[in-house]
Amino acid sequence: MKRSVYLLLFSLLVSVKSGSALANDFPAYALYNSNGKKVSFEKMIKNLSEKKYIFFGEYHNNPISHWLQFEVTKELHSKHKKRLVLGAEMFEADNQYIIDEYLNGLISKKNFQEEVRLWPNYNTDYKPLFEYAKANQLKFIATNVPRRYANIVYKRSLGSLDSLSDLAKTYLMPLNDFVFDSTVTCYKDMIASMGGHGSIAIAQAQAVKDATMAWFIQKNTDKKEVFLHYNGAYHSNNHEGILHYLKKYADAEEMITISTVEQENIDNLNKDNYGLGDYIICVNQNMTKTH
């Protein structure tokens, strides 16, 4: 009888070790700090929890980004409780009242999903975050500019925004306080990479998005609250984009960023990816896409 038990325990141990080896052969991601040193998820959470403005820079179709967004959200919620505010690039400011109606149980899920301009990958990638906010009575802020106004900048001019109605202007950053600086690296690189006609207009439209997100982030965060923002990595890489404009309202020391990159080999972070974020999620480039 004892011999049978020992054999069973031995077989289980071998199975566990084999499973661990297999898992180590195919890691889903590696986590690095800005200097390319591997760090633990727990250490990152500890650092994130000490900051007021947290930016999770994702790849929109990367499942590891979306999984870790959810895990980071849960961890920060456990630490900050109701003081945690969520917000996202994927929702536009003129839809905020519909979002609030749904979160407060005033309208149905069907009406919400039909009337808000949801991204095509909402159900797979953002719905879990949104429903988590609803279940835990957390505020969820639509921070992005309505896309039609960003399109005005691209198709017509930045100055065309002045012609919008007073109501329309409430969905943007204050126009009299907005300055586009083409020397900021993210906009400078965008202009250089696109070149030709319209490249400056594209960068200006991007800056309007960044400035509007910064405006609604600071507007919806009181002295005791912590804001966790989900956005494409380009909007917060190198502490630029949204953070460039948020620094007009808040101390840069209160801000922290996560970026996402994809590499063929994730054992070491490519030097080109150093500094993109305070923390960098490095995902195998063969990872399945969500859409």
Q: pLDDT tens, 137-192? A: 999 999 999 999 999 999 999 999 999 999 999 999 999 999 999 999 999 999 99
- Is 261 within a domain? yes
Q: Which pair of tokens denotes residue 279?
A: 């923390």
Whether the Cβ atoms of residue 173 and residue 211 lie closer than 8 Å to each other? yes
pLDDT above 80 for 4: no
Q: Torsions phi, psi of 91, nearest 5? A: -125, 135
Q: How far apart are CA 238 and CA 12, in angstroms?
A: 47
- Is 255 within a domain? yes
Residues 240-290 pLDDT 10s:
999 999 999 999 999 999 999 999 999 999 999 999 999 999 999 999 988
Which residues share a beta bridge with 209? none
Going by pLDDT thresholds of 50, 70 and 90, the confidence category of residue 197 is low
Going by pLDDT thresholds of 50, 70 and 90, the confidence category of residue 14 is very low
- Is 279 within a domain? yes
- Is 147 within a domain? yes
pLDDT above 70 for 15: no
The predicted model gives 88-93 an average pLDDT of: 98
- Is 150 within a domain? yes
Rounded CA Rg of the chain: 22
pLDDT above 60 for 29: yes
Segments in the chain forming alpha helices (H): 2-25, 41-48, 63-80, 96-103, 109-115, 127-135, 147-155, 166-169, 185-194, 199-219, 242-246
Instruction: Kindly give, in sequence order, each residue whose CB lies less than 8 Å from that of residue 236, ignoring residues fewer than 6 positions away.
Output: 55, 57, 229, 242, 243, 257, 259, 277
The predicted model gives 91-101 an average pLDDT of: 98
pTM of the entire predicted model: 0.90
- Is 9 within a domain? no
How many domains in the chain?
1
Question: For residue 26, what pLDDT is reported?
Answer: 77
Whether the Cβ atoms of residue 93 and residue 212 lie closer than 8 Å to each other? yes
CA angle, residues 192, 193, 198, in degrees to nearest 5: 75
pLDDT above 50 for 12: no
Quote the domain boundaries for residue 191: 29-284
Question: Based on the number of CB atoms within 10 Å of its own CB, is 251 exposed (0-12), middle (13-18) or buried (19 or more)?
Answer: exposed
Question: Any idea what the CATH number is for the domain that residue 44 is in?
Answer: 3.40.50.11550
